[in-house]
Amino acid sequence: MKKLLTTLPLGLALLFAESTTQGNEEVYVDKTNYDIYGLKQVEAIRDWGLGDGTGWGELFTFLQANYFSSIFLAIIICVPLAFLGHYILIGQRKFQHGKSIKVFSSYNIFVHWFTAIPFVMICLTGLVMVFGDKLGGGNFVKFARDVHAIATCIFAPFGILMFLMWFKDSLPRTYDIKWFMIMGGYLSKENRPIPAGKFNAGQKMWFWVATLGGACMVISGAFLFFQASDLDTLRVLAIVHNVVGFIIIALLITHIYMSVFAIEGALGSILNGNMGEEEIAILHSYYYEEIKKLGKV
């Protein structure tokens, strides 16, 4: 009887453990991940299903452990270094700013900044979460996660407005191929007319990445944040989220460099809506001819 009373609790404990781990409904929460992120995250399911050739566990774990953070680190180091080299070797493009032309309306400016600011916050806080373990985890990373979610809620509606606002101007044109062939003239110090409309091919590419890529990040991020699907689907979404993130971070750095450093006074056009006539005539030659025909010059 004494032996029975001793082994009965152990048997019940084993029975309970078996019943709670059957199937894939339960998510294993690693203590380290919980300390870093505060809640169950995709990283907390990284070890579930290893050895199961039918799932995505092996691939997700391999990429998460060996590549994702390394690629992000390479991007945030190498892309700025490349532009530093461009700034030193080619330098800043300068134009006369005597006569200016209204290019962007107050509505354009408002929508742009209410899209851009939360977008940058999403990218920065996303990087904090990528390197959460290296940053010590804790409250700082938890705060970044919360800001990430809030900024996403702001970006989503304004991103839609920006898409509708500049969709037509961002459609590809045949002269965009010529722009890419000469890299927009950014590899030359000579100011000569560049084939581009209101937005050049590089800006158009950024528009599509920021809007459609941003939508992809919002949708996949929502599934990951709320864990609103089965584990294999979450793993696929996590891979997509990271890969699209690589492209977005690289092009965001490019966009910031081009608008702040590569062209003198370029940032002013999206602050006050005005752009110098010479700058339009050189960097947006097709758009310049268009507004000339409309009598705006």
Residues in the chain: 297
Residue 173: its pLDDT value, please? 97
Q: How far apart are CA 272 and CA 110, in angstroms?
A: 10
Helix (H) or strand (E) holding 144: helix 138-166
Closest CA to 283 of 201, 200, 204: 200
**For residue 259, what pLDDT is reported?**
94
Mean pLDDT by 10 residues, the chain (297 residues): 44 42 46 51 49 71 92 98 97 88 97 98 97 91 96 98 98 97 93 96 98 98 92 94 98 97 92 95 96 87
CA–CA dist 13, 103 (Å, integer): 71
pLDDT at res. 128: 97
The residue written with tokens 């690589």 in the block is 246
pLDDT at 2: 45
pTM over 0.95: no
Q: Which of 200, 167, 168 is nearest to 183 (CA)?
A: 200
pLDDT at 4: 41
DSSP per residue, 21-73: HSSS-S----HHHHHHHSS--GGGGTTTTTT-TTSSHHHHHHHHHHTHHHHHH
Could you give the CA distance from residue 219 to residue 228 in angstroms, rounded to a whole number?
11
Domain extent listing, the chain: 27-293
Residues 137 and 45: their CA atoms lie apart, in Å, by 18
| pLDDT recorded at residue 24 | 44
Predicted local confidence at residue 136, as pLDDT = 87
Cα–Cα distance measured from residue 26 to residue 284, given in angstroms and rounded to the nearest whole number: 56
User: d(Cα 292, Cα 22) in Å, to the nearest integer?
Assistant: 71
Question: In whole angstroms, what is the distance from residue 96 CA to residue 244 CA?
Answer: 38
The residue type of 267 is: L
pLDDT at site 99: 87
- Cα–Cα distance measured from residue 68 to residue 268, given in angstroms and rounded to the nearest whole number: 36
Specify the residue for token string 């700082």.
Answer: 140
Given a contact cutoff of 8 angstroms between Cβ atoms, the answer to whether 272 and 105 are in contact is: no
Q: What are phi and psi of 275, to 5 degrees?
A: -135, 140
Report the CATH fold assignment for 27-293: Fumarate Reductase Cytochrome B subunit (1.20.950)
